[in-house]
Amino acid sequence: MTQAGYGDTVKVHYTGRRQDGRVFATTTGSEPIEVTIGEGKLMPGFEQGMVGMVVGERKSIQVPPHHAYGQWVPELLLDIDKEDFPKDIIPDVGKELHVRHADGSVLDVVITEVNESTVVMDANHPLAGETVNFDIQLIEVIQGVPRGLDS
């Protein structure tokens, strides 16, 4: 049987869970995802977990923060003076916003605190700092082109 390896395109079903068992993402009830292992489009721990799997195999992996959504970084907490906060947005704790930089890039933030003079927003990924678990089922392996060879 063919094992999935770096450079292979694979189709997988997965369910991602927090340490307390809450599901944060799943392909259950939808199409499997298709990804090329090693392209870096998925977190490193998920990609590494697929290496060596064979079609039909199911596997559970645990991914630490540095191989998942990264460590929680306190410098990504942003204090905004209420006077500078957009007047057309009501600053409620838990509200998710997309902040556009002058260069056009977009930063996703969550309001974590609202007080008399400031609004605190967190730009960390919601799962930053957490170890996460994935149940993976390999559906298909499409052999990749060996690195260094031109077609």
pLDDT per residue rounded down to tens, the chain (151 residues): 789 999 999 999 999 999 999 999 999 999 999 999 999 999 999 999 999 999 999 999 999 999 999 999 999 999 999 999 889 999 999 999 998 888 888 889 999 999 999 999 999 999 999 999 999 999 999 876 554 444 4
CA distances for 105 relative to 42, 99, 100, angstroms: 20, 8, 6
Shared-domain flag, residues 81 and 59: no
Beta bridge partners of 21: none
How many folded domains does the chain comprise? 2
Query: Is position 62 within any domain?
Result: yes
Structural domain that includes position 79? 74-122
Shared-domain flag, residues 64 and 90: no
Q: What is the pLDDT of residue 145?
A: 56
Shared-domain flag, residues 62 and 135: yes
Compute the CA torsion angle 123, 129, 133, 138 (nearest 10 deg): 60
Query: Is position 95 within any domain?
Result: yes
Query: Is position 45 within any domain?
Result: yes
Shared-domain flag, residues 99 and 117: yes
How far is it, in rounded angstroms, from Cα 96 to Cα 100?
13
C-alpha closest to that of 15 among 6, 23, 7: 23
Shared-domain flag, residues 22 and 65: yes
Amino acid at 105: S
Residue 49's CB is within 10 A of a number of other CB atoms, namely: 23
Shared-domain flag, residues 66 and 79: no
How far is it, in rounded angstroms, from Cα 70 to Cα 104?
24
How far is it, in rounded angstroms, from Cα 76 to Cα 109?
9
Amino acid at 110: V
User: CA torsion sign, 95 to 129 to 67 to 61?
Assistant: negative
Shared-domain flag, residues 115 and 131: no
